[in-house]
Amino acid sequence: MTSRMSSRPLRGLTALLAALCVCSWNFVSFPAVRTTIGNEVRPEGRAVSSGNFAGKSFYAGTKAQEKAVSDTSRSTDAVSLALAAAGCAVAMRAASEASEGAAKEAVETETKSKSFMDKHGVVVYIGLWYVFNIGYNIYNKKALISYPFPWACALWQMAFGWLIFVPLWILRVRKVPKLSVSQAVTLAPAALGHLATHVGAVVAFFAGAVSFGHIVKASEPVVSSFLNFAFLGEVMPWQVYASLVPIIGGVGLASASEMSFNWLCFGAAMGSNLGSASRAVYSKKVMKGDIGENMDSVNTFSVLTIMATFMLIPIALAIEGPTAMLKGFKLAYSAGGLHFMRQMILSGVFYYMYNEVAFQALGKLDPVSHAVCNTMKRVVIIITAIFVFRNPVTGMGILGSSVAIGGTLLYSLAKNKYATK
């Protein structure tokens, strides 16, 4: 009886992850039922995906040619790199202060034997985490402007990671993970959550402003708290739940005042939150045991990426169509050439690398330092995106964003202080 009761949350969460994948498929692809699988070419020669509300992006009227070759685009690249460097500086300062106490203790014990990474590894990892994350958000959006096929872009970015971690396994730089069939089945629901997290974010950034997408994604603690209660029966102190109020209020205020608001962006970002929270809850319940040999955090991410890639291939092809994807890619390349290819390649590189470095960085931080660095990362990304893409922002939008992001920090601090007692 006990084992049956304990297995119910797992079955329920697995069903939720599967339903999430099906719902995201239907929600985004529903208009494709009334359209032909093909490719629409606008007068200015820009390819538009046939399906998933094609052409209804905030940037639907932007010409691919102008974005690909204009001087403004080149200057924006320079500005984005400068802002990424500024974000790196902020991250390094935060990481230095967060790890100052631990560093002092370490210096007292083994001052002479410490290498540079031993002394400054946290600062380096946090700095790279910021730079790669900012770079991904910028080049992902630029790639989506030039090539408006979000499911194809998400598939490209996932598959691109293979070019990084597979050679590391072949060359024995990193230990090769070994899984049995049963262990792979255990990981499958987590891979579904991984898929929903990434695709939801890419669709959200395609449909609306990057800054607004991140504001909505700041509400993930609300979704996580609900799933922890529903599937694990986890009840946290009232102070933790109280910290969710400013998150909900801030996201609501920012949404109401967002000048480029659309439901696809909001819904996809919330779907990304649901996927991320579901993956975390499932991992907490199931993945504490034996999930394979050499399955550290980085290899686990790589294996989930492989599984999610295979899951995403048929979904992406069904939604956007292989013919439309190929024609759209050819049009984008003819308009942007190597500039377009750089956007696609950098979006894939930055996507994998920011996740890789995040695992290295967060494993070295205590919960409070993690909360501070993660909050600062989101602030820097939102400010950078607003500056680079010139998104119009109202005063109420700024207020709502500030309240929501501040609420995420309060939630993390409250959870660390009260829920761990």
Secondary structure (DSSP) of 164-197: HHHHHHHTTSSPPPB--HHHHHHHHHHHHHHHHH
Q: 379: domain range?
A: 15-28+61-419
- Predicted confidence (pLDDT) per residue in 166-218, tens digit: 999 999 999 999 998 988 998 999 999 999 999 999 999 999 989 889 989 88
Q: What is the pLDDT of residue 271?
A: 94
Q: What is the pLDDT of residue 295?
A: 86
**CA nearest neighbour of 318 among 104, 83, 30:** 30
Q: What is the pLDDT of residue 375?
A: 77
Helix (H) or strand (E) run with residue 40 in it: strand 39-41
Q: What is the pLDDT of residue 239?
A: 87
- pLDDT band, residue 41 (cuts 50/70/90): very low
Q: State the average pLDDT over residues 36-59.
A: 40
Give a yes or no: residue 9 inside a domain. Answer: no
- Predicted confidence (pLDDT) per residue in 335-383, tens digit: 989 999 999 999 999 999 988 888 777 667 766 676 677 778 888 888 8
Q: Higher model confidence: residue 409 or residue 315?
A: 315
Q: How far apart are CA 405 and CA 160, in angstroms?
A: 31
Give a yes or no: residue 138 inside a domain. Answer: yes
DSSP letter at 104?
H
Give a yes or no: residue 46 inside a domain. Answer: no
Give a yes or no: residue 3 inside a domain. Answer: no
Q: How many domains does the chain have?
A: 1
Give a yes or no: residue 79 inside a domain. Answer: yes
pTM as predicted: 0.74
- pLDDT band, residue 92 (cuts 50/70/90): very low
